[in-house]
Amino acid sequence: MSNINQWEAVIGLEIHVQLSTNSKLFSGASTNFGASPNTQACNVDLAMPGVLPVLNEEVLKMAIKLGIALNANINSPTIFARKNYFYPDSPKGYQISQMDKPIVEDGFLDIELEDGSVKRIGVTRAHLEEDAGKSLHEDFEGQSGIDLNRAGTPLIEIVSEPEISTPEEAVAYLKSIHSIIRYLNISDGNMAEGSMRCDANVSVRKVGETELGTRTETKNVNSFRFVEKAIHYEISRQINEIESGNTITQETRLYDSQKNTTRPMRSKEFANDYRYFPEPDLLPVILEEDFINSVKKLMPELPNEKKIRFTEFYKLSKYDSSLLAADKDLADFFEEVVQESNSPKISANWIMGEFLAEINKENLDINKSKVSSKQLGVLIRRIEDSTISGKIAKEVFEKMWESSKDADEIISNQGLKQVTDVSEIEKMVKKVIKNNPDQLKKYHSGKDRLFGFFVGQVMKESQGKANPAQVNQILKDKLKKEPIL
Amino acid sequence: MELNEFTLKEQLDGLRDSSFSSTELTQDYLKRIKAKDPSINSYITVTEELALKQAKKADDRYNKGQALALDGIPIAHKDIFCTEDVLTTCGSKMLSNFKAPYSSTVVSKLFDEGVVMLGKTNMDEFAMGSSNETSFFGEVKNPWNLDYVPGGSSGGSAACVSARLASAATATDTGGSIRQPAALCGLTGIKPTYGRVSRYGMIAFASSLDQGGVLTRTAEDAAILLASMSGHDPKDSTSLNIEVPNYTEEIGNNISGLKIGLPKEFFNQEIPDHVRKSTEEAIEVYKDLGAEIEEISFPNIDLSLPVYYVLAPAECSANLSRYDGVRYGYRCEEPKNLEDLYMRTRDEGFGPEVKRRILIGTYALSAGYYDAYYLKAQKCRRLIANDFTEAFKSVDVILSPTTPGTSFKAGEKINDPIDMYLQDIFTIPANLAGLPGISFPCGNHNGLPLGLQLVGNSLEEGKLLSAAHHFQTVTNWHKELPEF
Amino acid sequence: MSLSDKELKEIAYLARINIDENNFPALKGELDQILGLFEKLNLVNTDGIEAMSHPLDLSQPTRKDEVTEINQREKMQESAPLVQSGLFLVPKVIEGEN
């Protein structure tokens, strides 16, 4: 597309986060995942005649934490409203949501772009609302089956300002939100399971234009990757349409991950008149200063703060800090390892390397790691104090993972201690040199690359246990001094 | 004297001193219901087996000396209150087969005090009406004259108590649905302060206006029942967490010096002579009781009807969206698709008045009209509430006729919605402001009763009951019963 | 204030109530009458007046985050028009809000 540089995209994200409470937003039914249909839908969730909503206090705490993490205002009073529409998974025929005075308003999130720069994305609002039930379409001829277990589960909808400009920025923003909600322990943020859902509002305009183009809303993107692809596709589609002389229809579109396209959803236009009005069954929610402050005290260190602290205190690179700080469990693990090993850089490398490799291979939760942070810390110390070489340590780590035994036990049982005795190494070096006269001749005639061969032979002779640095030094020495036979 | 002729208080005394048993009392009512109800149609469901079971248990407790506060008193519940495992229809085809899976707080509380439930009373469909002519289960007739309406929406409850087919009946009031039937049937009816009685299990019409209350033969009876019905309910977020006074004690409070306000705008209206006359006579009674009369002004009172007819339909349009044929209730035959399911179920399941109000409400909330109608009405509501606040700075209670006339003939107003709505001009303001109101008999014209209304300040049910009670100690209107 | 046919059709759809074309004129007439009541509201100055959504001037109470409801599916589905395998059945839904 030769004209692509003339265009810019304007993107806003609406992220629905399922809050991990025990009971529902307005009823005492359980929110556990995977229950048999309609066994967790009480009379309130079923919208029986005469039922009334009662607010779950935990939800307020979670929303306040989120608001603080998003540098936003907490509105008091905050008001619930009815959003009216008919759909079988919405039993009351309206959803209790928030319109005016949402609980969180006017915040921002600083995201780090690929080039290392930081961009501030405004968060217009975050409001509470109840989730709908589920429709199942298979197994029933010509019918759909409605399961209302999920109906009434608390959601918080986070709406960004349309200040995102590229699919990559969108993903960075999304990942940031994901990281925060897991840090705050208010949601497990699992996009595949639907506890975090993302809708993308996309429009395009010529660079330099201040007016916004017509936007479309794309739904059904359930992974970071698909968010990027869907937005990318939608931007291209819109540019194509406009360049072909067509106008963009304001509509909702569904992303098809198989074809990597978006297509319009069918719905009557005026049917989207939600007729919001203040929920008469709920009173305005007053959030006292004391209450907000008590919640503030329970806040953990947030990902961004942690990232900065890792960079400054542990002197890690921005990249390493970013990776480690993104997940709270991983960050905690790292700090525990460092407490034991006293070597932040090496610990970071080991965690991002060997450790995560094993975790990812077995798809484990960090908390279910087969090697504890203390154990890993000790292993790293053994490298630092030259008990074992880095290479041997990798073997030891594998064995630790398999057997859950401590590093020291494995090292001594398998006799893996590093050889650091100079005379011993000299013996091995002499032996190797004696056994390889041709290579020696070639080395002396200028084939410097053969140095590596000799190193390899010495390591082999020592079963990998010789201290590589010392081997290098002694070899250099001995290779020079040996007279040509 | 038949047992059903006694007031609730007299029946309670009788049960306590073993003059008769609850089983006898209940059987008396059940027999009378079988004989008389077909001509007035005040009951939708009679729960004979349950009633006798409950009566027996009450008698057992009396025998053991472990009687509960209202033990053995047979009452009826308006069919708007969910009663577990018992048909709860709200007067509608939409719920004509609906057995509630849980009980409302009002019903539970009264059961906990030992009441016997005779059955569920007829009502205007979904509480929308002032004549009980919109019920799917047929019109209710006024026991005073079978050609006339009992009022609505609690017409069944009123007719039933007036005809002595229950000792008392629960009811609900959104724009006058307790007070107006009370006036038309010669009963005492009280709508408490908004939030005084729990709305949990009380099928919603207009959430910010609905209140549960009671229809009885005397203010004393009302005080007894209201005390048991009221109180905080954590299941209702709009329920007041304030102690319930001892109303039966409070009714004895002296009312000498009570300041009664007469809104000049009410009395400047065109009121029939007989209404004006009985109201003036009532005012004289109060003067004799030592009350002070003062003229007050309600500058915004003529906004009440438009405000009500924006807000109530708006809220009901959302409250009634749940009736869609999916999880309970009526479903149309062989729906072709989802749209068809909704559109036909709701067209066939709802009556014309309900549909009219849903449409008006939908319109008032729709894009482009929200500000002009809904929001405007909420602001005008504030003006009306402010008028009351201002009035209560100088008076204790506000007096007016309950209705603009006695009962009217069935069929007279049903085809003229506006004419019907005018029934509620005196009662609606109290609902808008969330204030308590009581109606009690103050006259009779051509064989039809007239009611007097008192509206009080927030949580002043005691004052209202006391004022009504004292009126009833020096007048006999409340003692008159239809020959039925 | 008068409703157009188009408006009536739209609100009937929003409210999901089928209206017979034959009933349109009568219904429109009735609704127009009621809408006529609203004229009075336009004549009032409400500048600076706060809307009143609740008669109570109180704050919303909250409840503890505890599971208090047990599974009562059978009881809750007793009055259901059409149920299979614990699910409420409706004519097939193709695409929708969520």
Quick: pLDDT tens for B95-148: 999 999 999 999 999 999 999 999 999 999 999 999 999 999 999 999 999 999
Q: Which helix (H) or strand (E) holds B137?
A: none
pLDDT band at C98 (very low <50, low <70, confident <90, very high): very low
Residues 26-65 of C with CB under 8 A from B: 27, 30-31, 33-35, 37-42, 44, 46, 49-56, 58, 60-61, 63
CB atoms within 10 A of CB A257: 14
Homologous superfamily (CATH) of B3-258+396-479 is: Amidase signature (AS) domain (3.90.1300.10)
pLDDT value for C56: 86
pLDDT value for A1: 46
| Residues counted in chain A | 485
Instruction: Pick from A18, A36, A42 the residue to mutate for testing the C interface (most C CBs within 10 Å).
Output: A42
Average pLDDT for residues A311-338, to the nearest whole number? 93
Residues of C in contact with A22 (CB under 8 A): 65-67
CB atoms within 10 A of CB C12: 21
pLDDT value for A118: 92
Q: Do C86 and A285 touch (CB under 8 A)?
A: no
User: Is the model's pLDDT at A144 over the cut of 70?
Assistant: yes
Mean pLDDT by 10 residues, chain B (484 residues): 95 97 98 98 98 98 96 98 98 97 98 98 97 97 98 97 98 98 98 98 98 98 98 97 96 95 88 94 97 96 95 98 98 95 98 96 93 95 97 97 96 88 93 98 97 98 98 97 91
pLDDT band at A3 (very low <50, low <70, confident <90, very high): low
Cα distances from C52 to residues B367, B389, C55, in angstroms, run 20, 14, 7
Q: Which of A358-367, B151-160, C32-41, C54-63 has the highest mean pLDDT?
A: B151-160
CB within 8 Å of C6: residues ≥ 6 apart: none
CB B474 within 8 A of CB B284: no
A-to-B residue pairs, Cβ atoms closer than 8 angstroms: 99
CB A41 within 8 A of CB C76: yes
Quick: pLDDT tens for A372-388: 999 999 999 998 888 88
CB within 8 Å of B406: residues ≥ 6 apart: B184, B274, B275, B445, B446, B448, B449, B450
Cα distances from A225 to residues A12, A112, B137, in angstroms, run 17, 18, 59
Residues 236-255 of B with CB under 8 A from C: 237-238, 240-241
Rounded to an integer, what distance in angstroms lies between the CA atom of residue A61 and that of residue A432?
70
CB within 8 Å of A201: residues ≥ 6 apart: A11, A12, A13, A14, A162, A215, A216, A217, A218
pLDDT value for A91: 98
Average pLDDT for residues A252-274, to the nearest whole number? 82
The separation between the first and the last C-alpha atoms of chain C, rounded to the nearest angstrom, is 36
pLDDT value for A449: 86
Q: Do B328 and C80 touch (CB under 8 A)?
A: yes
Sequence ranges of the domains in chain B = 3-258+396-479
User: Is the model's pLDDT at C94 over the cut of 80?
Assistant: no
Instruction: Pick from C6, C10, C37, C87 the residue to mutate for testing the B interface (most B CBs within 10 Å).
Output: C37
**Strand order of the sheet with strand C87-91?**
A134-136, A143-147, C87-91, C83-84
Cα distances from B336 to residues A93, B342, C12, C21, in angstroms, run 20, 10, 19, 19
pLDDT band at A269 (very low <50, low <70, confident <90, very high): low
Residues of B in contact with A148 (CB under 8 A): 327
Rounded to an integer, what distance in angstroms lies between the CA atom of residue B202 and that of residue B82?
6
pLDDT value for C97: 44
CB within 8 Å of B302: residues ≥ 6 apart: B265, C40
**Strand order of the sheet with strand A94-97?**
A94-97, A81-84, A277-278
Backbone angles phi, psi at B399, to 5 degrees: -110, 145
Q: Please, what is the average pLDDT of chain C? A: 90
In order, the DSSP letters of A342-376 are: --HHHHHHHIIIIIHHHHHHTT--GGG-SS-HHHH
Give the predicted TM-score (pTM) of the model. 0.91
CB B77 within 8 A of CB B169: yes
CB A380 within 8 A of CB A350: yes
Residues 82-121 of A with CB under 8 A from B: 82, 84, 86, 88, 91-94
Residues of B in contact with C63 (CB under 8 A): 234
Residues 22-61 of C with CB under 8 A from A: 53-54, 56, 58-61
Residue with tokens 């006694």: B6
Residue A462: what residue type? Answer: S
Quick: pLDDT tens for B231-282: 999 999 999 999 999 999 999 999 999 999 999 998 887 889 999 999 999 9
Average pLDDT for residues A445-449, to the nearest whole number? 85
Search chain A and give the residue with CA nearest C84. Answer: A145
Quick: pLDDT tens for A52-96: 999 999 999 999 999 999 999 999 999 999 999 999 999 999 999
Quick: pLDDT tens for C61-85: 999 999 999 999 999 999 999 999 9
Q: How far is A403 from chain C (nearest CA, A)?
A: 41
Q: Do C88 and B342 touch (CB under 8 A)?
A: no
Look up the ipTM and state it: 0.96
Rounded to an integer, what distance in angstroms lies between the CA atom of residue A9 and that of residue A164?
8
What are the residue numbers of the active site of B?
78, 153, 177
Quick: pLDDT tens for A383-426: 888 888 888 899 899 999 999 889 888 888 887 888 888 888 88
Paired sense of beta strands B211-216 and B188-191, if any: antiparallel
pLDDT-wise least confident of A9-23, A456-470, C11-25: A456-470
Q: Do B385 and C55 touch (CB under 8 A)?
A: yes
